[in-house]
Structure 1
Amino acid sequence: MGSAIAAHLANAGIPCLLLDLEGLAVKGIARLKETKPSPLYDPAFAARIRAGDLDRDLAQLSECDWVIEAVSEKLDVKHSVWKRIDSVWRPGMIVSSNTSGLSINEVTSVCGEACRRHAMVTHFFNPPRYMKLLEIVPCRDTDTQAVADVSRFCQDRLGKGVVIAKDTPNFIANRIGTYSMLVALQAMEKHGLTVDEVDAVTGPLLGRPKSATFRTLDLVGLDTILHVCRNVRENITDPLEAAAFAAPAIVEELVSRGWLGEKSGGGFYRKNDAERSKDRIQVLDPATMTYGSRRKPASHALEAAKMAKGTSAKLQALLEAADEDRLAAFARDVLEATLCYSAEKLGEIADTVLEIDQAMKWGFNWEEGPFETWDSLGVAVTASKLEERGKAVPAPVASLLDKGSGTFYVRKAGSVFHYSQGHYKFVEERPEVLSLGMLRDRGRTVFAADGASLIDLGDDVACLEFHSPHNAIGPGVLSAIRQASEEVDRNWRGLVLANEGRNFCVGANLMLLLMEAENGEWEEIDLIIREFQMSMQSLRVMPRPVVAAPHRMTLGGGVEACLPSDRILFAAETYFGLVETGVGLIPAGGGCLAAAVLAQDRAEAAGLDDVTSPISQMFETIALAKVSESGHHAKRLGYWRSGDGVSMREETRIAEAKNAVLELDRRGYAVPDADRQVRVGGREAATLLKLGVSSMRRSGYISDHDAKIAGKLAGVLAGGDVPAGMAIPEQHLLDLEREAFLSLCGEPLTQARMRQMLATGKPLRN
């Protein structure tokens, strides 16, 4: 965990000293480059971490501004390390423990007062790169300014979602998250459910991750869960709560057998490597302690919940069926117990409902926090139903209702207030954070179209926000792009392309395309592609600066929407790539044109007369449907241009993009050349690329259809049958990519690939 934290600090450009027992730090840094998923945005960032020996190099800690202890969760071990840190502590140094649940007051009891004033818990959720939550827990002596400084630094530099927790066992997220999983185990026994049935209910239907209950337990480690339970039991005084954290017998049995979950090869699930079918993943039968095939539960209530739109509607569907369906009854028991426990802990583990809700969303990936769920289900209605079934209403809920309030959150004029210690507290807004949802609530929508809206960001900058299903690009989005281009040209200083969806854009509307291809509507497909190209070109030639701010999955058409912009501000977690070959096609919304321009620009920057080498790199990236593993990694794939950058903090990404637009405008924005010519590799480059494809086909690495797709791509990227180094109009490249795309749409093998992707989400190699 220490090396993973160091990796994320390195991701943020911060040099680190990693101290461990002799030789272990060096090995830890080496492992960072091999671990998948990678703790590093770019393997080169490992150079920012310097290895040291805890005994020999302890004095070097005095050079550090922040010392993070991440040794094992044993108080005596932590005391030993903290004594040594205290011996080299210097004024102003922050010292923190990465403990997941030990008392910071006990950990720091061996230190001097000066050190304690700068000491706290900084609990990074694992893995630190990917998990947003960071719980900060001050000890009784911690200086409030030190807490504020660390909190701000972790938000702004590390991109973390920070919550301030109290020094209670397991803090916020692990306390409630573990309780929720234990409740599920207890309710499983009550209702006689299988592991499959429990996970079918406690995943997305409850607004939780797909890993649900038992997959999550396996990922965390069953021995770790026992440790968490024990830590709560041994440090609380309420016997009823202690009983709720009793170690589940089935978990103890699995641990005694060494079946610890994923790290040991099996827990509630295991892989059967001898099996290659869907039965490769087997599930435990707790009654016999044997593994067998997974089974999909049959339940009308579950099917109704799956059809409902949004977490609140899914929960309502389950609750309405709870008196007739045992899986829905199980869901009600788990949900109500979790909501009540969260309410009971308000004031004890955290002061505000906001901290608890954010901790569960950022730390356990819940769609809604428990108090947001109280509100969405109706606080008064839920409390009344609890009373009808003879259950106690938690005191904070009763107090809220007694005051005549109906929700834990109140929204007024686009501002949010949350319930805290008997009154509502304004949710502080920071100027560097822009929320499109809040701006919509404040009436800042310029226009709302089918699939996209234009939002006023202030300072005469607008944002085009996709909101189609999966943010896929279809006719409505394309129309909105053209409308936004015209509107911004007339009335605004510039445009941001961004949204707050789960992903920026997963590509074009593949279902629509497949339907047209199967029906032989070639003129209609040609029209769709022309409109796609025209829409993206309208962004490129707009006489106002355009900055794209993609995040997470940005694939195919999503990439083609970004590349015409003047700047791309990648979120740190951006998975960026032209992936059309995976469905038997090539990029045709300007993606091949953009790749040729990138190759030309790279050749010019390197002083090369020949564009063949950079074209070859782009060909390989696109032909193999490579996707970046981070925003930084997009540079290695050849997608970066001069001026592009990465935003570490998700909440500030849109504001940073807005500032980039303003900066381009202040510098005196040069209107793009609508008649730009592109220097290409021509027939010589195409021949070279196709020779490579032919070699791969003869070696059996690719199929005949793969070779056909790659051949089409090579011809387009090289600019067609023209001499090497010739400058050709952009429209010529657009025509080439459209013609190749159309011809591939007519291939039965391509249509099979498209069907496979739509049906399973996985590529077909045929």
Structure 2
Amino acid sequence: MKRRINKVAVIGSGIMGSGIACHFANIGVEVLLLDIVPRELNATEKKKGLSLEDGQVRNRIVNDSLQSALKSKPSPIYHKDFANRIRTGNLEDHISKVSEADWIIEVVVERLDIKKQVFENLEKHRKEGTIITSNTSGIPIQQMSEGRSEDFQKHFCGTHFFNPPRYLRLFEIIPGPKTSEEVLQFLNEYGEKFLGKTSVVAKDTPAFIGNRVGIFSIMSLFHTVKDMGMTIEEVDKLTGPVIGRQKSATFRTVDVVGLDTLVHVANGLHKGVPQDEAHHLFAMPDYINTMVENEWFGSKSGQGFYKKIKSDNGSSEIKSLDLNTLEYRDQKKANFATLEQTKTIDKVAERFPVLVNGKDKAGEFYRKNFSALFAYASHRIPEITDQLYKIDDAMKAGFGWEHGPFQIWDAIGVEKGIEMMKAEGKEPATWVNEMLESGSKSFYTVKNGNSYYYDLEKKEQVKVPGQDAFIILDNIRESKEVFSNSGVVVEDLGDGILNVEFRSKMNAIGGDVLDGINKAIDIAEKDYQGLVVANNGKNFSVGANIGMIFMMAVEQEYDELNMAIKYFQDTMMRMRYSAIPTVAAPHAMTLGGGCELSLHADKVVAAAETYIGLVEFGVGVIPGGGGSKEMTLRAAETFQKDDVELNRLREHFLTIGMAKVSTSAYEAYDTNILQKGKDIVVVNPDRQLAIAKKHALLMAENGYTKPIPKKDIKVLGKQALGAFYVGTDQMFAGKYISEHDKKIANKLAYVMAGGDLSEASYVSEQYLLDLEREAFLSLTGERKTLERLQHMLQKGKPLRN
């Protein structure tokens, strides 16, 4: 039987339920979102004279919850229009509609009695063969399915999404005693392919995989911090980006998630795993108990480990909690000699050996922290899963870690990790020593471009399943390298397709990257069929190397700067007009020059989570790598007979002038940065490169012909220029923009109008590129532009001057 999910029913519209509903809407599925009927009127309803029988009252809970979710930031939905795919209702009037669903997901309160009651009602209306799952974070699946029909139990399991469902990629699938293998396989594939998740099949043990190891890691740290007398600033400094974790690190993350949520799960584990060797660590330290009693839950209560204090003059500052006195105090800067040693190490995995060898408090902290994590993770196999890679996948996808426990252990060295653990009074699970004795010296190996892991049952390295849909650059870089310099590595992806992988800091585009792109095109035109530009970095590219631009501008090396900008433009035009198809695969931050590169590819295969835009106004210039030209061209391509052409151009002008950045790839269609019918969006970023390769190959095999540069771009001249100048005057007069903003906007207006032409005319791309470059260069001679460039380099955020 071939299953297809066209309609999903989500039962429960709380934060998780609404989030799950929104994510299914994101991928084009029709959603029915149901919740309970209110038991009493609220003040507004009483004032309006409504009764409990009125439809808007009966659906109030579900509608209010969904609207609250849609207004939240970051948004749970890729595009505001996608919310139209969700219909709401209540569990009394509309429960019969679940018969139309292909998948029913229960997301009600975490109480077994309530869940069982909901399932009893659902079974009266659910059609046989329909998948039904619970999003429980810890209640045993076996207990929930007791008393249900054979068909219900066969199609029932846990599907645990992590919050927020759009952004956290872990999708745990927990079978019940009678769940069919067909259902498990379907959900595993559907999670990966359609929902864009990392699917992990877990055992029906307390808190499953992600929360079992993740909550242990946090609770262990809570105890360690107190024992070592560390401050929360020190811990957040040590557990953030330096080890591949979120900027919010530990205590800021707990504040955002909510201490009460963490305590609820930890208490459940303390009760549910009495035989656990680390059972005592799930008990709350005294300072946590006091915080809970005081309701210091974090952001939701206004204070937690951090507290924002407003002074009398209206300014605000962040205070930190002293864990000894439990009073808020001024923040203390945390500095460690060990961290200084890692500043020149870009790859996080290469930092771990340095960190655990530190001679200061940081080194001691890492040795204690990682020893506890390694020991705990090793002892959870085979209790919570039989495969070690699933623990790593769960921690990366559910908690945002760059590396899972066994990957960190590999980076340090398995034997070194055991030695470190023993010094801390801990022992690894027996199977780890057996692995070493069998000849496997690491948990993972790479062979022929594929990742292998140590399988406890087979006692050998086994290929990690599911890789056939992925291309992992880390696995092929050395064996498939065709060319490299300090800015790029060019790899052979097979089937005649090359890939250009940026390797510069933050994937900024400078001279070496441009050299690499040109070299890759040279090689591809000679011996290959197509070219992809993709990387596995945190961001696709933050833009051009503004440090280089700033230095040249400060030194007034305008001839050299002119040549550098022209080289950028020429390289982008080479992307567009090469003899082979070019495909860009942007993801995450794709700003400025990264956006310009995407604009000039034959096709864009974007990750859904792509935040793309031309942001050059923030550093005092206009897009100078072909971006201004391209948006002018794209505006002209939308002109239609009897259309108000100036309105079309204005939309594209504002996209640049307001430095609009999409909050998803789907939003980029609205600004014409991505083009409907040409560019596509991929929900699972792990599949993105393989799909980009397929499209490059398809274009090549379909008879790709080198395009002809455009010489017939319609520009509107004075008609547009006058209108834009009036607009910038009004914005300045209304104090919406600064004088320098107005100057930049007028320079952009001149380019996009095609100059001071007396009437609408047809011009070439090179004509527009020359105008663009001239405007860019003139702005780099402005003091206020230099101030903006310097501020961005020093502070990492734009300056308004």
TM-score bracket for this pair, using the shorter chain length: over 0.9
Query: 1:407 deviation in Å?
Result: 0.7
Report whether the alignment pairs 1:17 with 2:32. yes
Map residues 533-572 of structure 1 onto 2, 5 A cutoff: 533-572=569-608
Match in the other structure for 2:522: 486
The letter for the 1-side match of 2:553 is A
Deviations 1:456-515 (A, max 9, x none): 222222222222111111011111222222222233222222111111111000111111
Query: 1:375 deviation in Å?
Result: 0.9
Residues 534/275 of structure 1: CA separation in 2 closer, same or farther (3 Å cut):
farther
Find 1:83's aligned residue among 99, 120, 140: 120
Report whether the alignment pairs 1:223 with 2:260. yes
Match in the other structure for 2:668: 634
Query: Is the Cα–Cα contact under 8 Å of residues 278 and 376 in structure 2 kept in the other structure?
Result: no
Query: Is the Cα–Cα contact under 8 Å of residues 516 and 522 in structure 1 kept in the other structure?
Result: yes
The letter for the 2-side match of 1:351 is D
Query: 1:130 deviation in Å?
Result: 0.7
Distance 2:752 2:162 in 1: 44
Match in the other structure for 2:451: 416
Q: State the secondary structure of the residue aligned to 1:282.
A: strand
Distance 2:425 2:612 in 1: 53
Find 1:694's aligned residue among 711, 729, 737: 729
Query: Is the Cα–Cα contact under 8 Å of residues 496 and 529 in structure 2 kept in the other structure?
Result: yes
Match in the other structure for 2:43: none
Match in the other structure for 1:28: 65
More moved, 490-499 vs 2-11: 490-499
Query: 1:609 deviation in Å?
Result: 5.4
Q: Paired residues, what number? A: 761
Residues 497/83 of structure 1: CA separation in 2 closer, same or farther (3 Å cut):
same
Q: State the secondary structure of the residue aligned to 1:359.
A: helix
The letter for the 1-side match of 2:593 is G
Q: State the secondary structure of the residue aligned to 1:272.
A: strand
Match in the other structure for 1:123: 160
Match in the other structure for 2:19: 4
The letter for the 2-side match of 1:623 is G
Query: 1:390 deviation in Å?
Result: 4.0
The letter for the 1-side match of 2:615 is V
Query: 1:47 deviation in Å?
Result: 0.5
Match in the other structure for 1:96: 133
Report whether the alignment pairs 1:50 with 2:108. no
The letter for the 2-side match of 1:615 is L
Match in the other structure for 2:397: 362
Find 1:178's aligned residue among 208, 212, 215: 215
Query: 1:569 deviation in Å?
Result: 1.7
Query: 1:286 deviation in Å?
Result: 2.5
Query: 1:288 deviation in Å?
Result: 2.5
Distance 1:241 1:259 in 2: 26
Deviations 1:601-626 (A, max 9, x none): 1224xx45553112101111111111
Find 1:754's aligned residue among 789, 792, 795: 789
Deviations 1:253-299 (A, max 9, x none): 11211211111111111222448999622211122322222111233
In the alignment, structure 1 segments of 5+ residues that lack a partner are none
Query: Is the Cα–Cα contact under 8 Å of residues 709 and 765 in structure 2 kept in the other structure?
Result: no
Match in the other structure for 2:635: 599
Query: 1:78 deviation in Å?
Result: 1.2
Report whether the alignment pairs 1:150 with 2:192. no
Find 1:303's aligned residue among 324, 327, 340: 340
Query: Is the Cα–Cα contact under 8 Å of residues 371 and 424 in structure 2 kept in the other structure?
Result: no
Query: 1:680 deviation in Å?
Result: 1.0
Distance 1:404 1:275 in 2: 67
Query: 1:683 deviation in Å?
Result: 1.7
Distance 2:297 2:147 in 1: 34
Report whether the alignment pairs 1:316 with 2:353. yes
Q: State the secondary structure of the residue aligned to 2:440.
A: coil
Distance 2:642 2:319 in 1: 56
Deviations 1:279-333 (A, max 9, x none): 6222111223222221112332232244444333433223222xx4223212221
Match in the other structure for 1:469: 505
Query: 1:664 deviation in Å?
Result: 2.5
Q: State the secondary structure of the residue aligned to 1:632.
A: helix
Residues 551/207 of structure 1: CA separation in 2 closer, same or farther (3 Å cut):
closer
Query: Is the Cα–Cα contact under 8 Å of residues 617 and 638 in structure 1 kept in the other structure?
Result: no
Distance 2:285 2:666 in 1: 43
Residues 575/136 of structure 1: CA separation in 2 closer, same or farther (3 Å cut):
same
Distance 2:365 2:758 in 1: 70
Find 2:368's aligned residue among 323, 326, 333: 333
Identity %, equivalent residues = 39
Distance 1:608 1:399 in 2: 78
The letter for the 1-side match of 2:605 is L
Residues 242/102 of structure 1: CA separation in 2 closer, same or farther (3 Å cut):
same
The letter for the 2-side match of 1:220 is V
Deviations 1:117-153 (A, max 9, x none): 1111111111011111111111111111100001111
Query: Is the Cα–Cα contact under 8 Å of residues 434 and 654 in structure 1 kept in the other structure?
Result: yes
Residues 140/211 of structure 1: CA separation in 2 closer, same or farther (3 Å cut):
same
Report whether the alignment pairs 1:380 with 2:415. yes
More moved, 23-32 vs 694-703: 23-32
Q: State the secondary structure of the residue aligned to 2:669.
A: helix
Distance 1:611 1:657 in 2: 34
Distance 2:526 2:335 in 1: 57
Distance 2:182 2:425 in 1: 46
The letter for the 1-side match of 2:101 is C
Deviations 1:393-428 (A, max 9, x none): 332322222323211112223332211224232113
Query: Is the Cα–Cα contact under 8 Å of residues 82 and 110 in structure 1 kept in the other structure?
Result: no
Query: Is the Cα–Cα contact under 8 Å of residues 440 and 454 in structure 2 kept in the other structure?
Result: no
Distance 2:648 2:170 in 1: 40
In the alignment, structure 2 segments of 5+ residues that lack a partner are 1-15, 38-58
More moved, 387-396 vs 678-687: 387-396
Distance 1:615 1:171 in 2: 54
Distance 2:298 2:385 in 1: 31
Distance 2:625 2:706 in 1: 22
The letter for the 2-side match of 1:512 is M
More moved, 205-214 vs 50-59: 205-214
More moved, 751-760 vs 454-463: 454-463
Match in the other structure for 2:652: 618
Distance 1:739 1:316 in 2: 50
Distance 1:414 1:301 in 2: 34
Distance 1:278 1:125 in 2: 35
Query: Is the Cα–Cα contact under 8 Å of residues 696 and 702 in structure 1 kept in the other structure?
Result: yes
The letter for the 1-side match of 2:412 is L
Report whether the alignment pairs 1:513 with 2:528. no
Q: State the secondary structure of the residue aligned to 2:590.
A: strand
Residues 190/307 of structure 1: CA separation in 2 closer, same or farther (3 Å cut):
farther
Distance 1:272 1:664 in 2: 58
Report whether the alignment pairs 1:449 with 2:485. yes
Map residues 56-71 of structure 1 onto 2, 5 A cutoff: 56-71=93-108
Q: State the secondary structure of the residue aligned to 1:507.
A: coil
Match in the other structure for 1:528: 564
Query: Is the Cα–Cα contact under 8 Å of residues 685 and 724 in structure 1 kept in the other structure?
Result: no
Residues 437/308 of structure 1: CA separation in 2 closer, same or farther (3 Å cut):
closer
Query: 1:634 deviation in Å?
Result: 0.3
Distance 2:108 2:290 in 1: 27
Q: State the secondary structure of the residue aligned to 2:89.
A: strand
